[in-house]
Amino acid sequence: MTLPKMAQAVATAILALTAGIASAQPATSSGKASVTQQEYQARMALAFAKQDVDADGYLSRGLLVQEISVEQLAAMDTDGDGRVSKAEYLAHAMKGFRE
């Protein structure tokens, strides 16, 4: 799997797991945003908080880390510490946002 496809798969997994908070499609099929970048980032921050089951600021346990592959986790875990910080999560989630 190429890196862009892996990033898309991770973003899809994130959004699927947080469907109650964030829309799986931040943009319409025409590419026009249905929400602003700020609104989408706020939704993703809420999604992070929902997944941070022990409220330590990292995704090291919980649904997301159980549902994604080692490769997908590595794509999000940019500092290589084996867990995903809020900053890493938001940076990864925002890669696919289109205004």
pLDDT per position as a tens digit, 30-56: 555 588 999 999 999 999 998 888 899
Give the contacts of 69 (CB within 8 A, at least 6 positions apart). Answer: none
* Per-residue confidence (pLDDT) for residue 24, from 0 to 100: 43
Q: So what's the pLDDT on residue 71?
A: 84
Amino acid at 69: S
Residues 6+ apart with CB under 8 A from 45: 86, 90
Q: What mean pLDDT do residues 53-69 have?
A: 79
Structural domain spans, the chain: 3-94
3-94, what's its fold? Recoverin; domain 1 (1.10.238)
Average pLDDT over residues 10-38: 60
